[in-house]
Amino acid sequence: MASTDQFHKFLFENSQIRGAWVKLTASYQEITGQAPYPMIIRQLLGESLAASVLMSSTLKFKGTLSIQASGDGPMSTLMTECSEDRRIRGLARFDEKAASAGGINELLGKGRMAITITPDQGQRYQGVVPREADSLAGCLEEYFERSEQIATRLFLFADEEQSAGLLLQRLPGATDEDNELWERVEHLAATITAEELLELDSQTVLHRLFHEEDVRLFDAEPVIFQCSCSRERTLAALEAIGRDECYSILDELGSIEMDCQFCHAQYRFQRVDIDQLFTGHTLH
C-alpha cells in the first residue's frame, strides 16, 4: 500500500525557481495523538511539521532540520524535526489558556524561534526566525529573506485529519525571465485554498496552479513518524548532565528513569549502567 504521507520536489524547467509539496496524514495523526492538543495547537504543530519537511529539501547532507520555538505564552514550546530521509517528529507544550489564544505570536508570547540544522557530521547551525508576521508561514518566509537571501513563499494548512504545505523558492542567479516567472507563480500560488492543498494530490495541485508552465515533478518520497531517541542517545544526555548529578539521583531513587517527550519510550538505568557510562567498566 502506498504511503499516505508523501513529499514531492518540483522545479520550473530552465529557471532558477524550485518548489516542494507535502501532505501528512498518518504521521500527523500519530504525532498529534501523543497529547490532548487543543485544535489551535494541533493545527500549528501540523503546519510546523509540514514546514520542517518542506525545508528539509534544502539539506545536502545526512542530518536533521528542526523548527524550535519557546516563550512565556500559553504555548511554552513548539518543536518539529525532519531528517534528510523524511523521518519526522514533533511536540508542543501548552497550558489551559492555549485553547482560546489567537495566532502564533499570542500563543508564544515573549520568546524566540529558531531553525537548527544538525548534520550527522560537522558543525551545527542555528538561525533566528523573525516573529513579526502573524503566521508561521510568514515568519519562515522572513527567515529565508533575511538569513538566506532567498525569496520564498510558504503555504501551510492543517485540520483535524491532516496537514499539508507548498513551498516556492527563487534561487540565486535568477534572470529577468526568472523574475517574470516568479511573479506569475507567486501570484498563482497565492490562490491556493486550504481545502485544495489538504484534499488534492500533488499532480492535481500543480496542474491547477501552474498548467501553463513547464513543471517537472520528481518522484514521491514517503514521510513517516519515527523518533530518533535511543538508549545510547539517552545515555549521552545523562553523560552531559554529569557524574555527580547522576549518582545523586541514583542515591535518592535507586535508578534513573527517562521518558522520551516525542514518542513516550521509557528508558531505565541502574547503577551498573551509570558505572559503565562514567568509568568504562562495572564497579563492584
Give the pLDDT band (50/70/90) at residue 2. very low
The answer on 42 and 11 residing in a single domain is: yes
DSSP one-letter code for 220: P
Asked if residue 183 and residue 215 are part of one domain, the reply reads yes
Same domain for 34 and 122, yes or no, is yes
Q: Which residue, chain included where needed, has cell 498518518?
A: 26
Report the predicted TM-score, pTM, of the whole model to 2 decimal places: 0.83
pLDDT at 63: 86
Residues 213 and 252 in one domain: no
Confidence of residue 174 (pLDDT cuts 50, 70, 90): confident
Residues 117 and 241 in one domain: no
Residue 28, domain member (yes or no) = yes
pLDDT per residue as tens digits for the range 68-86: 999 999 999 999 999 988 9
**Predicted confidence (pLDDT) per residue in 237-281, tens digit:** 788 878 888 888 888 888 888 776 776 677 788 888 888 888 864
User: At 21, is the secondary structure helix, strand, or coil?
Assistant: strand
Does residue 284 have a pLDDT over 60?
Answer: no
CATH code, domain with 235: 3.90.1280.10
Do 134 and 261 lie in one domain? The reply is no
* pLDDT band (50, 70, 90) for residue 49: very high
Residue 101: half-sphere exposure toward Cβ, Cα within 13 Å: 26
Domain check: are 126 and 73 in the same one? yes
The per-residue pLDDT of the chain, averaged, comes to 88
Determine the pLDDT at residue 3: 58
In angstroms, rounded to a whole number, what is the distance separating the alpha carbons of residues 133 and 246? 43
Distance, in Å, from the CA atom of 80 to the CA atom of 232, rounded to the nearest integer, reads 21
Residue 36: give its domain's CATH number: 3.55.30.10
C-beta separation of 213 from 181 below 8 A: yes
Which structural domain, as residue segments, surrounds residue 255? 231-279
Same domain for 211 and 79: yes
What is the reported pLDDT for 1?
Answer: 35
Kind of pairing between the strands at 6-12 and 17-24: antiparallel
Q: How far is it, in rounded angstroms, from Cα 2 to Cα 62?
A: 25
In the block, which residue shows the cell 523558492? 169
pLDDT, position 267? 77
> Which of helix, strand or coil describes residue 237?
helix
Q: 184 and 77, same structural domain?
A: yes
Is 178 found in the same domain as 157?
yes
Residues 148 and 81 in one domain: yes
Bridge partners (DSSP) of residue 89 are 81
Longest Cα separation, the chain: 75
Domain boundary (225, 247, 267) is at: 225
Question: What local confidence, expressed as pLDDT, does residue 282 receive?
Answer: 46
Among 66-70, 79-83, 95-99, 160-164, the minimum mean pLDDT is found in: 95-99
Indicate the burial class of 63 (C-beta count within 10 angstroms; 0-12, 13-18, 19 or more).
Answer: middle
Query: What is residue 254's predicted lDDT score, i.e. its pLDDT?
Result: 87
Residue 37: is its pLDDT beyond 80? Answer: yes
Which pLDDT band, with edges at 50, 70 and 90, does 283 fall under? very low
Gap between the Cα atoms of 161 and 42, Å rounded? 10
Domain end marker among 179, 205, 225: 225
Structure confidence by residue, pLDDT tens digits, 215-243:
999 999 999 887 666 677 777 778 887 88
In 13-48, beta strands by DSSP E: 17-24
Count up the domains in the chain and report the number. 2
Q: How far is CA 154 from the centre of its chain?
A: 13
Is the Cβ–Cβ distance between 130 and 142 less than 8 Å? yes
Domain presence at residue 216: yes
On whether both 184 and 263 belong to a single domain, the answer is no
